[in-house]
Amino acid sequence: MTANTLVSSKLVCVALNDKSQLAALEGTFNEAPYKKPPTQPVLYYKPRNTWNVDGAEVEWAKDFDGNDAPAMAVGASLGVVIGQETCRVSQAEALEYVRGYTIVCDFSLPEESYFRPDIKGKCLDTSAPVGPEIVPADTIDNPDALTVTVFVNGERKNVFPLANMQRSVAELISKISWIMTLQPGEVIAVGFAGERVPVAKGDRVEATIEGVGTLTNTLGGA
């Protein structure tokens, strides 16, 4: 396992929290089998074998025959680090439970369909770098005003202002704390741009948030 991960015990990610992605999917949501858009946050976990650190290599995915996967993609999110036990808190008090902020990258297989809960594509070893550090909560005035930018080999590929999130940081902490109790050191990746960035073997990926830092990782397999 990767040493010195910043995550303790749980890394929860929020899917479908980009307003423009939700708007694009609106027609699909009303078809079978769902018949309506999601009414609560859509969550997934990045389990312990995925946790990784700033500066480390992210392994290239393999298929069931041991061959290299044909494609991978990356998204980046603000990471909210929980500071104390958080159980059924209101939106108004939610930010008081935050110890600090960091960056979470989510490397995965490209998603074929948002219908299929793609555990296999999301739980790749070393696919969730978190870092480079945890900046204290009181250094960030308004987390919803931050912008996440992803560079691949120095080229800007994606810009996601968190103002475009369907649910704010405080609303998510509150909602999730009603679904499951959160513990100190657990991390929530609050939202990714709907469009993931394709990556290739050997690519250098930097995810940057002003005031939080830059998380840099390189894809293996080259």
Task: Please tell me the distance from the alpha carbon of residue 37 to that of residue 25, in angstroms, as a whole number.
Answer: 9
Tell me which residues in 35-64 interact with a second copy (CB under 8 A).
40, 42-45, 47-50, 62, 64
Q: Which of the stretches 72-80, 93-101, 114-122, 201-209 binds a second copy when contact is defined by CB under 8 A? A: 114-122
| R_g of the chain, CA atoms, integer Å | 17
Task: For residue 156, count other CB atoms closer than 10 A to its CB.
Answer: 11
Quote the least distance from Cβ 176 to a second copy, whole Å. 9
Contact between 126 and 52 under an 8 Å Cβ cutoff? The reply is yes
Residue among 9 and 20 whose Cβ is closer to a second copy: 9
Question: How distant, in Å, are the alpha carbons of 11, 15, 73, 120 from that of 38?
Answer: 21, 11, 24, 22
Residue among 42 and 163 whose Cβ is closer to a second copy: 42
| Contact flag: residue 31 with a second copy (CB under 8 A) | yes
User: Pseudo-torsion of CA 105, 108, 114, 120, nearest 10°?
Assistant: -130
Q: Name which position in 24, 71, 120, 156 contacts a second copy (CB under 8 A).
A: 120
Q: Name which position in 93, 116, 153, 198 contacts a second copy (CB under 8 A).
A: 116
Q: Which of the stretches 119-127, 133-141, 146-154, 160-168 binds a second copy when contact is defined by CB under 8 A? A: 119-127
**Residues with Cβ within 8 Å of residue 159, at least 6 apart in sequence:** 147, 148, 149, 150, 193
| Contact flag: residue 181 with a second copy (CB under 8 A) | yes
**Residues in touch with a second copy (CB under 8 A):** 1, 9-10, 12, 31-34, 40, 42-45, 47-50, 62, 64, 66, 87-88, 113, 115-117, 119-120, 123-125, 175, 178-183
